[in-house]
Amino acid sequence: MNKIKLFFEESAFGVCSKLGERLNFPIDSIRLFFIYSSFITLGSPIIVYVSMAMMMKMRKYLRKMNNPVLFD
């Protein structure tokens, strides 16, 4: 069970952890909220999760473009 948890934590986008850091809220509670609300509302929070992940990736990409490394 621990291997499965580590796999999902490494391959996830990091949306829940970033949200937990910003709100000072336990990360596990946020993950459970997304899981339970996805089952109750038939997957609509998945759209929110994916859109937040896309925003994080775009933000990281734009920051990288604004501050290029001299020696790549």
Q: Tens of pLDDT along 18-37?
A: 888 889 999 888 888 888 89
The model scores a pTM over 0.85 = no
Ranges of the chain with pLDDT below 50? none
* Long-range contacts (CB closer than 8 Å, 24 or more residues apart) made by 18-25: 18/56, 19/52
CA neighbor of 16 nearest in space, from 2, 3, 5, 32: 32
